[in-house]
Structure 1
Amino acid sequence: MISRGYLYKLKPTPAQASLFAQFAGVCRLIYNIALEQRRDHWQAYRRATGNGISYVGQARELTELRRDYDWIAAVHVTPQQQALRDLDRAYQNWFKGIARYPSPRKRGRNDTFRFQGREIETRSLNGSWSEVRLPKIGWVRFRDTRPLRGKINNVTISLASNGWHIAFSLAIEHEAPANIAPAVGIDRGVSNTLSLSTGEHISVPASLADLDHRQRKAQRVLSRRKRGSRRYAKARRRVAALSARRGRIRRDWHHRASFDLSRRFGTVVIEDLNTRNMTGSARGTLAEPGTNVRQKAGLNRSILNQGWHLFETLLAYKLEEQGGALVKVPAHNTSRTCFACGAVDSRSRKNQANFVCTACGHRDHADINAAKVILRRNTASMLVEEGHRASVEARTIGEAKRQTGNLRPSGRGRC
């Protein structure tokens, strides 16, 4: 059983679009009120009742709130309960240390609400359009770009710069086939988004750079508009539209690239990179200001424009669906290590594209050489030679195909 999300563009009537905005606004209000209660009144609540604030207690208070206010009762109860569940999950993630403290939801950024799968119904109209029945809203048309499959767990309605969308969360029966395809190493970069150990270069569409330039120009126009004016709202919509278009182009490219790689290769080896740390600001503090701040900002923008983390996320689940595995290896000195002799020397990389080993004279494209080193690091001999911990994939030579990431030396559990 695998979980997948199918996204479609909705075509609501003006009345339905108004209901969408009403549903999203009420759910956002319920989330923010519950957050304020947990953040500011939990101590008084504990002293009065002896218990902490939980989802169950807040859901009980939601029932009373719906009884007192008709405009809240006009919105279906399930999306409001889902908002409380989202807040409870956000607190649990914060307690575990895997997420930041929950923040209030804002209009224009968090226009979304969710139904449970058993409450909705779909039907096909023709080859291009279908309809979905939403509680207290009715039948809404959506552009049917691919058929639904599996069981619907939940349905999320969200607003983007180009209109309302619906996302179906599906549970699909699936058994991964045996994958005996070859392995490949991938080096992620800025000039070349993906460089494969096979000698291939794959890069994001060039149109992203042009859209980035147009978006920054639109942001400068926005900064000169008076906040709250109609011209400010128009400029803001322009920036949002360009940003959303960039995101759609990038996601589409990453989906196609990751799907192609998952079909061609059984094991994909990449560097274990922390993109958040790599794109941190170099501004520093007033006492200790940073250096080369503008250059670092440009590098950060280029890295984020490639979408390294998005590619890793998509590739991981697509490989799992095909019976393959995504393996991460240490990233230290991959661009300075010679694939032929293993010598490590920063002088071997003459420039961004050329690699000439100072020890053995081996010549190759710098990114291709790094991709070959990354692939080789998934073998026990290379890891032991460089002093790194060997992964299960390396020690068992392909027997742990379904494991992802480097495991402990004992082979028990994940890192």
Structure 2
Amino acid sequence: MINRGFRYRLDPTDEQELMFRKFAGVCRTVYNAALYQREAFWKQHLRTEGKHVSYAGQCLELTDLRAEFDWIREVSATCEQQALRDLDKAFQRFFDGISGYPTPRRKGENDSFRFQGRDIEVEKLNRNWSRVWLPKIGWVRFRDTRPMIGKLKNVTVSLDPLGWHVSFAREIEHEAPANIAPAVGIDRGVANSIAMSSPLEGEQFFSVGKERLAVLDRRRRKHQRDLSRRRRGSKRCGNARKRIAAVAAKGARVREHFNHVQTTRIVRRFGTVCIEDLNIASMTASAKGTVEEPGKNVAQKAGLNRSILEQGWGQFEEFLTYKLAASGGVLVKVDPRNTSRKCSNCGHIDARNRESQASFRCVECGHEAHADVNAAINILQAGTRPSVRAPARRRESRKAA
């Protein structure tokens, strides 16, 4: 079984959009109230009830709230229960050390609500449009851009700067086939988003749409200048913020589309993909430092951070992971040290080998290549060495024994 999400743009009426905002607001209130209860009253609850605050207990209290307050009862109980379930999972992830402590949800950032799949109906209207039945809201049209498959598990309605969207989470029966396709090494960079050790359809370099992102960046800067001249809290200030958020969302879509297209092409041709095990959070940390020990080259580091984040390296890795798993492929992460300074021909490591951003010339054997391609070959060699994957085979043999 694999899980897949299908996301579409909704076309609600004014009355339906008002209901969307009401649903999102009530679910956000229920989440924040439950979070406050867990923070402030857990000791009192444990002393009086003899047990900790739990998802089941808060669902029972939600029933009492719905009987007392009409504005809570107007929203589907399923959506409110899903908000409590999200909070319970957030605490579980916190106690397991996976994520940080749960924080309150905020308007403008957490405008969403979720239904269970059994409460939803979907109908096809024509070639381009379909509609979905949402409890207490009714039929809502959405732009049908691709067919859905699998068993429906849940449906999430969310708001982003580009409008309301609906996401269908589906469970698909799938058995990964044996994948005997060749291996490839991939180097992620700034000048070239992707450099490959083996050409893909005659090309070794792929980059996010820099011209489109440059246009969006100029537009964003213009809106930010407009925002700086607006009075905080005014209607014009709010509109300027919305324009900035919409431009940022469009840039995110450009990156997402690029990563989806390229990872699909890679997975269709290669069975083993080797990439560097990068700590992107540390690589994009600020260089400001502290008041006592201020950082150096802060502006340059900030520009480099923007360039790295613009490529969407983490998203590229995420897409590769689940697509390779579905195709029976393997994603291998290798130590990134010296991959850009090591000669892929003789193995000599020297900082002088990297003559420039694009040029590589080994001072030992004279081997010349594009620096990113040389790094991709080194990544492939490191990822396909027997010692790299031997531990996994030993674990399998112990399990079989």
TM-score range, shorter chain: over 0.9
Q: Which residue of 2 aligns with 1:124?
A: 124
Give the partner amino acid of 2:252: G
SS in 2 for 1:197: strand
Are 1:203 and 2:207 counterparts? yes
2: CA distance, partners of 1:98 / 1:284: 27
In the TM superposition, residue 140 of structure 1 has moved relative to its aligned partner by 0.8
Q: Is the 8 A contact 2:355 2:361 kept in 1?
A: yes
RMSD: 1.5
Q: Which residue of 1 aligns with 2:191?
A: 191
Superposed, 1:299-378 pairs within 5 Å as: 299-378=304-383
2: CA distance, partners of 1:84 / 1:407: 39
SS in 2 for 1:198: strand
Q: Which residue of 2 aligns with 1:57?
A: 57
2: CA distance, partners of 1:85 / 1:408: 38
In the TM superposition, residue 219 of structure 1 has moved relative to its aligned partner by 2.3
Superposed, 1:210-221 pairs within 5 Å as: 210-221=215-226
1: CA distance, partners of 2:46 / 2:170: 39
2: CA distance, partners of 1:224 / 1:319: 49
In the TM superposition, residue 53 of structure 1 has moved relative to its aligned partner by 1.1
Greater alpha carbon shift after TM alignment, 50-59 vs 214-223: 214-223
2: CA distance, partners of 1:83 / 1:98: 20
2: CA distance, partners of 1:43 / 1:292: 49
2: CA distance, partners of 1:160 / 1:90: 22
Superposed, 1:244-283 pairs within 5 Å as: 244-283=249-288
What percent identity do the matched residue pairs reach?
Answer: 56
2: CA distance, partners of 1:175 / 1:276: 34
In the TM superposition, residue 227 of structure 1 has moved relative to its aligned partner by 1.7
Q: Which residue of 1 aligns with 2:90?
A: 90
SS in 2 for 1:52: coil
In the TM superposition, residue 410 of structure 1 has moved relative to its aligned partner by 5.1
Aligned mate of 2:289, from 284, 287, 290? 284
Give the partner amino acid of 2:48: A
Superposed, 1:35-114 pairs within 5 Å as: 35-114=35-114
2: CA distance, partners of 1:163 / 1:379: 45
Q: Which residue of 1 aligns with 2:10?
A: 10
1:179-232 Cα distance to aligned partner (Å, 9 max, x none): 222110000000000000025000000211331232233223223321210110
Q: Which residue of 2 aligns with 1:23?
A: 23
Q: Is the 8 A contact 2:34 2:84 kept in 1?
A: yes
Give the partner amino acid of 1:311: F
Q: Is the 8 A contact 2:25 2:107 kept in 1?
A: yes
Q: Which residue of 2 aligns with 1:391?
A: 388
2: CA distance, partners of 1:409 / 1:202: 37
Greater alpha carbon shift after TM alignment, 314-323 vs 181-190: 314-323
SS in 2 for 1:377: helix
In the TM superposition, residue 37 of structure 1 has moved relative to its aligned partner by 1.1
Q: Which residue of 2 aligns with 1:140?
A: 140
In the TM superposition, residue 408 of structure 1 has moved relative to its aligned partner by 9.1
1: CA distance, partners of 2:225 / 2:346: 51
Cα–Cα, structure 1 residues 362 and 215, in superposed 2: closer, same or farther, change >3 Å? same
2: CA distance, partners of 1:71 / 1:123: 30
In the TM superposition, residue 409 of structure 1 has moved relative to its aligned partner by 6.7
Q: Is the 8 A contact 2:382 2:388 kept in 1?
A: no
Give the partner amino acid of 1:76: S
2: CA distance, partners of 1:47 / 1:291: 53
Q: Which residue of 1 aligns with 2:171?
A: 171
In the TM superposition, residue 168 of structure 1 has moved relative to its aligned partner by 0.2
Give the partner amino acid of 2:278: L
SS in 1 for 2:347: coil
Give the partner amino acid of 1:112: S
SS in 1 for 2:168: strand
Q: Which residue of 2 aligns with 1:241?
A: 246
Give the partner amino acid of 1:326: L
Structure 1 gap ranges (5+): 382-389, 396-405
In the TM superposition, residue 371 of structure 1 has moved relative to its aligned partner by 0.1
2: CA distance, partners of 1:350 / 1:61: 67
1:254-288 Cα distance to aligned partner (Å, 9 max, x none): 11111011101111100001111111111111111
In the TM superposition, residue 407 of structure 1 has moved relative to its aligned partner by 4.6
1: CA distance, partners of 2:239 / 2:121: 37
1:16-60 Cα distance to aligned partner (Å, 9 max, x none): 111111100000000011111112222222223222111111111
1:123-165 Cα distance to aligned partner (Å, 9 max, x none): 1111111111111111111111111111000000001112110
Cα–Cα, structure 1 residues 47 and 223, in superposed 2: closer, same or farther, change >3 Å? farther
Superposed, 1:293-304 pairs within 5 Å as: 293-304=298-309
Report the count of equivalent residues: 393
TM-score with structure 1 setting the length: 0.92
1: CA distance, partners of 2:188 / 2:353: 19
Give the partner amino acid of 1:205: G
